[in-house]
Amino acid sequence: MDELLIKYIAGSATEEERETALAWIRENTENRKYFEELKEYYHFTKIIQKPSGFNKEEGWNRVMAGYYKNQYQSQIQQKKDTRKKLMVRFVISSAAAVLIAFFIGFLANSFITDRKSSLTFNEIVVPLGAKSQVTLSDGTKVWLNAGSKLRYPVNFLKDTREVYLEGEAFFDVTKSHKRLFVVKTSKLNVKVYGTQFNVKSYPEENIIQTTLVRGSVAIETNDKSNKRTVFLKPNQSATYYKQLPVSKPTSEVSSPEETSAEALQKNVTPAVEKKKAEEPDKKIVVQPKVDPLPITSWKDKRWVIDGEDLGHLTVKLERRYNVKITFANESLKNYKFSGTLAEETFEQVLKIIQLSAPIKYSITSNNVVFSVDPLYKKKYDKMISKSNN
């Protein structure tokens, strides 16, 4: 029953489990009191996320011992004594439907008061190997991808709605003609009144990508010396380059596959790279017609992959599974993959890659190394040669 109650409090219980938990809570006053105490302890819990999940027994023992509650109270007292800004951190649980497995992801929530605006902010930090969803005070729904951080006010101001994103998120913004909704990233702002769109802005990547599904958005750069605004229509995508990629002369490129791999390492497709060479002064490139599904399906149960090079795909796999992938042979990054994945385990995904291309893999802890399978490569090359003829 303890485990069932924890799932109920965390919001990861099924409908049947919810009904069972509620029935038990309503049985008598003692049960209700126990449930309230358990809920209080739970909200001060911080269970460390591990690649394979978490140590439930150890975490539960700490909950029951009041360890986290004591830590929380000590932290507040210490910060009062030193007159620092009050920041209370606790970790909440969210059922994270990830590609490898179904496990509970714990998201760090911070409550921070901004003295200038008198706003209190929430901060959600999503660990690698997890996903999360949050509904803001105006009804806007936000899906957060692995390795992302969202900072937003508990309650928005009357004239504007601003959130701060690091990582990737899908927004379904509640329409408001009077209040602009702004997603702020490191280099640009995305402004809307009511729409659906995806923003990817990981600090370690050279690009910030905005893809519009419905409505309209305005993308505005933060560069005061060279400010630019771009408007998107549905099924359009805009890519902002933090640093402009340098394209090689055509004579140095030996094959289309090499062009693709080289471009991927710079987080830009060959077509976009060519356009950038024609417009070196512009940091934003708009793709006038895209299929948004492969870009936004990371948040759904069915993840759609459409002609992605393995070099690019592994970056997503690393975040989604909380693993590290390296290549013994750089040429392997050129192989393209398409398909739909639902709830396959990580090993199942590796098997799919192994069957689809002449690639073998080795696993040590959460580190994966891809290398060439020489026997399969001979058969694979013959098969490709026949299909081309």
| Count of the separate structural domains present in the chain | 1
pTM here? 0.64
| 77 pLDDT more than 80 | no
Over the stretch 159-210, which tens digit does the pLDDT of each residue have? 889 999 999 999 999 998 789 999 999 999 999 988 999 999 999 999 999 9
Q: What mean pLDDT comes out for the span 326-347?
A: 91
E strand or H helix at 31:
helix 29-42
Residue 169 included in any domain: no
Residue 42 included in any domain: no
Residue 39 included in any domain: no
Domain that holds residue 315: 301-388
Residue 241 included in any domain: no
Lowest mean pLDDT among 30-44, 123-137, 140-154, 236-250: 30-44
Q: E-assigned strands of the chain?
A: 88-97, 102-114, 119-125, 132-135, 141-144, 149-153, 160-172, 180-184, 188-192, 196-201, 207-214, 217-221, 229-232, 236-241, 284-287, 303-309, 324-327, 336-341, 359-364, 367-372
Of the pLDDT bands very low, low, confident and very high (cuts 50, 70, 90), residue 335 is very high
Over the stretch 235-284, which tens digit does the pLDDT of each residue have? 999 999 988 766 544 433 333 333 333 333 333 333 334 343 334 346 89
Distance separating the N- and C-terminal Cα atoms of the chain: 64
* The dihedral sign for the CA sequence 277, 282, 283, 286: negative
Residue 369 included in any domain: yes
Domain at 353, CATH number = 3.55.50.30
Of the pLDDT bands very low, low, confident and very high (cuts 50, 70, 90), residue 86 is very low
Of the pLDDT bands very low, low, confident and very high (cuts 50, 70, 90), residue 73 is low
112: number of CA atoms within 13 Å, CB side? 13
Residue 12 included in any domain: no
Residue 36 is predicted with a pLDDT of 76
- Token reading at 226: 């060279």
Residue 326 included in any domain: yes
Residue 161 included in any domain: no
SS (H, E, C) 333-347: HHCEEEEEECCCCHH
Residue 61 is predicted with a pLDDT of 55
Beta carbons within 8 Å of 149's beta carbon, 6+ residues apart: 123, 124, 125, 126, 165, 166, 167
Q: In the chain, what are the helix, strand and coil shares in percent, each to the nearest 5?
A: 35, 35, 35
